[in-house]
A and B are shown apart, each in its own frame.
Chain A
Amino acid sequence: AQTVTQSQPEMSVQEAETVTLSCTYDTSESDYYLFWYKQPPSRQMILVIRQEAYKQQNATENRFSVNFQKAAKSFSLKISDSQLGDAAMYFCAYRSHNSGNTPLVFGKGTRLSVIA
């Protein structure tokens, strides 16, 4: 079974600075998806960024980018120019790319605080 580990329960960053959230995963599969979701106090899980394992190029979405190291099974999220609205729980998630619909496997999350 796949597992996802987020080793930083809490992180903080100054407004306008850069922060990196860590995520490692364990799988024997070669084809899969990786995601970062953000959950603000409103509770709605919002997709931040996704990465397809067969793509070597790291995904970017505006201020959000990932460092995907397939051999090391590492998938970190970098947030640049942090804003107060970035404060939330961040979850790293894994999904197999098998036929049919497979569930997301989540890490325990990292709570990010943004200091004004």
Chain B
Amino acid sequence: KAGVTQTPRYLIKTRGQQVTLSCSPISGHRSVSWYQQTPGQGLQFLFEYFSETQRNKGNFPGRFSGRQFSNSRSEMNVSTLELGDSALYLCASSGGQGANIQYFGAGTRLSVL
């Protein structure tokens, strides 16, 4: 069974641009969560989608948004990028009998110049 796939692995953008990151969950998983990882703040929860609906949201500005498609794939978008948005963005999926366990992808490393 394929794991969680995140694309792209690396991104370099400049301030003011916008970016879209993609996450394909494990087959059969309907929940997708996004986390931001930085050296200073550690791992922080962004939002979670289940069956195309945002079910939970962390404390991030409205520039951070996401969506989920009918095949459970999810995208997150960051508009008007700031230097502080440079981070590793991790996606995790869960579902089925092990719904309390989140399985992570390898992340997308975003650098904002």
Q: In the complex, which residues of chain A have a beta carbon less than 8 angstroms from the beta carbon of B42?
A: 106-109
Q: With CB as the reference atom, state the residue of chain A lying closest to B30.
A: A101
In the bound complex, CA of A101 to CA of B25 (Å): 16
In the complex, chain B residues whose CB is within 8 Å of the CB of A100:
55-56
Interface size on A (CB < 8 Å)?
23
Cβ B100 vs Cβ A43 within 8 A: no
Partner of A47, one of B31, B55, B101: B101
A36 near B: Cβ within 8 Å? no
Which of A45, A47, A50, A107 sits near B90, CB closer than 8 Å? A45
Find out whether the CB atom of B43 lies under 8 angstroms from the CB atom of A44.
Answer: no
CB of B48 within 8 A of CB of A103, answer yes
Size class of the B contact interface (CB-based, 8 Å): 20 to 34
The complex places the Cα of A95 from the Cα of B104 at a distance, in Å, of 15
CB nearest neighbor in B for A106: B43
Residues of A within 8 A of B33 (CB): 101, 103-104
How long is the Cα–Cα vector from A106 to B88 in the complex, in angstroms? Answer: 15
Contact among B31, B58, B90, B105 with A101 in the assembled complex (CB-CB below 8 Å) = B31
Check if A43 sits within 8 Å of B88, measured CB to CB. Answer: yes
Give A108 to B107 CA distance when docked, in angstroms. Answer: 18
List chain A residues, Cβ under 8 A from B102.
Answer: 104
A56 within 8 A of B: no
Contact with B along A72-116 (1 / 0, CB 8 A): 000000000000000000010001010011111111110000000
* CB neighbours of A33 from chain B (8 A): 100
Interface residues of A (CB under 8 A from B): 33, 35, 37, 42-47, 50, 91, 95, 97, 100-109
Q: Can you report 9 A-B residue pairs in the complex whose CB atoms are below 8 A from each other?
A: A35-B101, A42-B106, A43-B106, A44-B107, A97-B100, A100-B55, A101-B99, A104-B45, A108-B42
Given contacts A47-B101, A101-B56, 7 further A-B contacts (CB under 8 A): A43-B109, A100-B55, A101-B50, A103-B45, A104-B35, A105-B45, A109-B42
